[in-house]
Homo-oligomer: A and B are copies of this chain.
Amino acid sequence: MKFSPALMDLIEALRCLPGVGPKSAQRMTLHLLERDREGATALAEALQYAMARVDHCQRCRNFTELDICEICSDSRRDRHMICVVETPADVLAVEQSGSYRGLYFVLMGHLSPIDGIGPVEIGLDKFQQRVVEEGIEEVILATNPTVEGEATAYYLSDMLLPRGIKVSRIAHGVPLGGELEYVDGSTLAHAFSGRRKLEQ
């Protein structure tokens, strides 16, 4: 004997959430049925809306339900600078540090040839095109300080420097082996102000 089919299905479905095992999924299911049916219905609607509408911004590849995201279409931002990050959470972290007012490009990952993730998979063809078309003068490489992030940054600098574009890598304050998403704002601000110019 188990729970009834509708409950079992919900318990199983909740396991698509990262960090939710069978026991938590069971607890969540009973909690929602007992105490928060309204919240559960709102969650179902938010999930459906987001999955149906949210796609990548056509310019920066960040998640948005618009064609061009709010940052890319914000005329008050410095349009000659692009900060390259790995994930949407990294954009949020950089924004929260308040130390950057340019545009972004979100790789949605990093180069990882062993997993079949090459330059095209992280949108570098689109990025290169953007750099040319939009007359970008400076690129800040804010990929994670991990082996893959560093390799991706190196690849990018190799692509940009011959074009005479000013390229820098965030440096100070970001601890190696950590993830950008979890770095506090002032550390990130240090990382931005202390960026080093890369030479050919």
Contact = CB atoms under 8 A, between A and B. Distances in A.
A63 B19 contact: no
A86 B100 CA distance: 54
A53 interface: yes
A24 B20 CA distance: 11
Interface residues of A, number: 56
Q: How many copies does the complex hold?
A: 2
A99 B44 CA distance: 38
A132 interface: no
A6 to B, nearest CB: 4
11 contacts: A1-B71, A3-B63, A4-B64, A7-B88, A10-B50, A18-B31, A19-B24, A26-B92, A29-B50, A40-B47, A44-B48
Interface of A: 1-7, 9-10, 12-14, 16-19, 24, 26-34, 36-37, 39-51, 53-54, 63-66, 69-71, 87-89, 92, 95, 108
